[in-house]
Amino acid sequence: MNRTVLITGSTRGIGVETAAEFLKKGDQVVIFSREKQHVEEARERLLAFGKKEALLSQAGDVRKRKDVERIIRKSMKRFGRIDVLINNAGVGFYGPVEETTEEKWDHIIDTNLKGTFLFLRQIIPIMKRQGKGIIVNISSGLGVEGMGNFSAYSASKFGVVGLTRALADELSDSTIRIYAVLPGAVDTTLLADSGFQMDPSDLLRPEYVARKIFEAAQGRRRSGSLITVYS
Ligand SMILES: NC(=O)c1ccc[n+]([C@@H]2O[C@H](COP(=O)([O-])OP(=O)(O)OC[C@H]3O[C@@H](n4cnc5c(N)ncnc54)[C@H](OP(=O)(O)O)[C@@H]3O)[C@@H](O)[C@H]2O)c1
């Protein structure tokens, strides 16, 4: 398809499977996450799905404006455009609000919500200049429905939905389309590390969610759509 797709948090779980999906379809993909080793391991894995020239990888933190600017600059230098942005990087915390330290709150809100904002703020002007672009923000079922012991996470994901809806309105005169994908519980490190227990047979597979994200990025739905992936 030959589009350039930047995916944050793309070294494991839903993000790396989404990167594989786009590479298989012939797109160019930019992967990005904090840990250099995770980036290198994901790169090795992803080379099975696409050519070396189609894959750009870089370590960086979505919470840091300079890291965000650097990866966007590198992507533009290498590919000359960014057609699709997938704001996927995320962290979770499961526990009562009184055990949610200020540090945990900031980590979750800064990664899931501010990180999304930092990418949008830089990439929307590029998409406006290109005359088109598609943005997929990964929220969660907990972005429209609160659940006990997920207060910080849920607040961050409601925020992602709000950001998506506000920008769909703001960009309604442009050809840029923006969506939020809201998965149910997925079998990834994020969920396993949160301490939340679920029957493994009830979990979605990350490859399945990745295919739904790929579908959303075809841009056929009305901008501002919230796309649930519950089964
Ligand atoms: N798993 C679920 O049940 C579920 C359900 C609904 C929605 N989601 C959402 O789906 C998205 C992906 O989650 P997942 O379950 O696939 O999680 P995961 O397996 O833990 O993967 C998270 C990815 O984000 C990266 N990351 C974390 N913090 C980052 C930061 N500050 N800057 C850059 N990269 C960062 C991680 O790599 P590094 O460690 O190298 O940074 C990793 O590549 C998240 O937004 C999550 O909220 C997940």
Neighbours of 229 (CB within 10 A): 21
CA of 42 to the centre of ligand 1 (A): 14
Under a CB-based contact definition with an 8 Å cutoff, are residues 19 and 45 in contact?
A: no
Q: How many residues does the chain have?
A: 231
CA of 62 to the centre of ligand 1 (A): 11
1-5, 167-171, 206-210: least confidently modelled range: 1-5
**pLDDT grade, residue 106 (50/70/90)?**
very high
Measured from the CB, is residue 212 less than 6 Å from ligand 1? no
- Whichever domain contains 42, its CATH number is 3.40.50.720
138, β-bridge pairs: 181
Range of the domain at 156: 4-229
- Pseudo-torsion of CA 108, 109, 111, 116, nearest 10°? 150
Under a CB-based contact definition with an 8 Å cutoff, are residues 39 and 31 in contact?
A: yes
pLDDT at 195: 85
DSSP, collapsed to helix, strand or coil, labels residue 86 as strand
Q: What is the count of structural domains for the chain? A: 1
86: closest CA among 38, 127, 50, 138? 138
**Active site members:** 153
Measured from the CB, is residue 56 less than 6 Å from ligand 1? no
Measured from the CB, is residue 63 less than 6 Å from ligand 1? yes
The answer, yes or no, to whether residue 28 has pLDDT greater than 90, is yes
